């Protein structure tokens, strides 16, 4: 492999491609993305790890609220005896007992849904919508006005307010908030209040509460995303940090060991060549610029399913699940060539080229992740000894 220590020569430098935005989508889409709008709209772009962490956060709140609701649903029965006529009380009490059973089921479901966002969101819908349906049933059955029924007219507003304690995406908030408003409209219709000032007043109040709840959900989700990113990503390059990489590697290796037909897992360990010299010659700011550009090259050359991490200073590790070593060597060679063709500009606007050496290997199912990394790191060491700017896969 060609060694490029003289890469700063002007002829070679002009052949290199300036690389300011590699792999990063530009224009309006990128600007909207960087505002995190998509991240708080749906969970489509959230990682599996983040979904598990968020589901735990939501689950812990469901358990507290559901325990309170489960206790209060039957505890209200004595008050029902005071406000409902005798002929209706058995239906009301029956409804309350049914609601208590559904809430107990919700509590059970939320205990079972550890780390499972889908199940947790089902539990949340049950927690909010089952008391709302109970309220609707009561409004349909009884002749008294909601305002005369102590503790009842309050229910939809209370449920909407409780919604605000969860970190939800806009779509998740809407998928619970809209049915709650629909239930309220139906209840007003049963009460004959739909097109009256009372009905409009109810609709106005619950809509305002829903907007506040969505806002609170978004703020919590945004905060959670930020904290999660800080804990799992390298702030300079935006790549995963070493801790997350090791966790993912162990998970992937376990999955592969348990699979009937294990998929290959390849690993690339990369190190920027003579990086100290770049720092010493052009300063740490330019060194940082090289690290960021290298991260963008990795983004451009790798699949979204690959795990890309900054392992240490100028050392990076990529895990390619489902990729045999021969294919991984080709990917590594592509990355090496891509680096060779790029540069960043120093403060005098002169090109600063950089290259990388790469060790590649496949995880052997019998060995530990640590020894696989050690074996592949030895290949990187070999690449350095061969003169740098090359890939060693055997
Ligand atoms: N700018 C910058 N430099 C860093 C960062 N992290 C580590 N470094 C520097 O990276 C350099 C790594 O140098 P060495 O380990 O000697 O390796 P090298 O100069 O790349 O030489 P070879 O690996 O043998 O090609 C050190 O000077 C570190 O200070 C960082 O976040 N930013």
Other beta carbons less than 10 A from residue 156's beta carbon? 26
Per-residue model confidence (pLDDT) at position 1: 38
State which of 274, 288, 313 you would mutate to test the pocket of ligand 1, scoring each by most atoms of that ligand within 8 A of its C-beta: 313
CA atoms within a 13 Å half-sphere pointing along the CA-CB vector of 337: 7
Q: Where are the domains of the chain?
A: 10-19+237-392, 48-232
Q: What is the pLDDT of residues 300-352, one digit of tens each?
A: 999 988 999 999 999 999 999 999 999 999 999 999 999 999 999 999 999 99
Q: Give the pLDDT mean for 19-26.
A: 37
The yes-or-no verdict on residue 145 having pLDDT over 80 is no
Where do the DSSP E strands lie in 167-219? Answer: none
* Span from the CA of 237 to the centroid of ligand 1 (angstroms): 15
* pTM beyond 0.80, yes or no: no
Q: Distance from the CA of 242 to the center of ligand 1, in angstroms? A: 17
The predicted model gives 213-233 an average pLDDT of 93
Model pLDDT, residue 42? 85
User: Residues 110-140: pLDDT tens digits?
Assistant: 999 988 999 999 999 999 999 999 999 998 8
- 10-19+237-392, what's its fold? Alpha-Beta Plaits (3.30.70)
Cβ atoms 273, 389 nearer than 8 A:
yes
Which atom of ligand 1 lies at the shortest distance from residue 280's CA?
Answer: 27
* Spatial distance between the Cα atoms of 118 and 280, rounded to a whole number of angstroms: 51
**pLDDT digit string (tens) for 209-219?**
999 999 999 99
Closest protein CA for atom 24 of ligand 1 = 274
Predicted-complex ipTM score: 0.94
Residues whose CB is less than 8 angstroms from the CB of residue 145 and which lie 6 or more positions away in sequence, other chains included: 191
Distance between CA 330 and CA 351 in Å, rounded? 27
pLDDT for residue 144: 67
pLDDT tens, residue by residue, 48-87: 778 888 999 999 999 999 999 999 999 999 998 988 888 8
Residue nearest ligand 1's atom 15 by CA: 276
């Amino acid at each position: 492999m060609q060694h490029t220590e003289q890469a700063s020569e002007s002829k070679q430098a002009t052949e290199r491609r300036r690389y300011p935005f590699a792999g990063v989508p530009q224009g309006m889409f990128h600007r909207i993305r960087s505002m995190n709008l998509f991240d708080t709209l749906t969970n489509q772009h959230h990682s599996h790890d983040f979904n598990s962490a968020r589901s735990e956060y939501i689950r812990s709140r469901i358990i507290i609220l559901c325990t309170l609701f489960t206790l209060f649903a039957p505890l209200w029965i004595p008050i029902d005896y005071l406000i409902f006529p005798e002929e209706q009380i058995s239906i009301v009490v029956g409804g309350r007992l049914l609601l208590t059973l559904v809430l107990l089921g919700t509590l059970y479901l939320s205990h079972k849904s550890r780390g499972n966002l889908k199940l947790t969101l089902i539990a949340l819908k049950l927690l909010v919508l089952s008391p709302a349906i109970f309220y609707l049933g009561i409004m349909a059955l009884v002749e008294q006005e909601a305002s005369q029924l102590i503790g009842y007219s309050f229910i939809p507003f209370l449920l909407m307010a409780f919604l605000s304690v969860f970190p939800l995406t806009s779509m998740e908030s809407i998928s619970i908030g809209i049915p709650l408003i629909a239930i309220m409209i139906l209840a007003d219709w049963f009460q004959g209040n739909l097109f009256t000032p009372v009905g409009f007043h109810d609709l106005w109040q619950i809509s305002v509460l829903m907007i506040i709840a969505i806002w609170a959900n978004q703020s919590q989700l945004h905060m959670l995303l930020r904290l999660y990113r800080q804990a799992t990503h390298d702030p300079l390059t935006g790549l995963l940090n070493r801790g997350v990489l090791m966790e993912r590697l162990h998970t992937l290796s376990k999955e592969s060991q348990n699979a009937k037909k294990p998929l290959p897992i390849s690993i690339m360990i990369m190190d920027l060549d003579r990086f100290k010299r770049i720092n010493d010659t052009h300063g740490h700011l330019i060194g940082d610029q090289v690290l960021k550009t290298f991260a963008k090259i990795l983004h451009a050359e790798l699949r979204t399913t690959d795990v890309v991490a900054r392992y240490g200073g100028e050392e990076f590790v990529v895990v390619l699940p489902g990729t045999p070593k021969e294919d991984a060597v080709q990917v590594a060679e592509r990355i090496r060539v891509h680096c060779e063709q790029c540069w960043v500009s120093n403060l005098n606007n002169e090109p600063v080229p950089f290259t990388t050496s790469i060790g590649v290997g496949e995880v052997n199912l019998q060995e530990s992740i640590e020894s696989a990394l050690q074996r592949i790191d030895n290949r990187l060491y070999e690449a350095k000894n061969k003169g740098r700017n090359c890939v060693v896969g055997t």
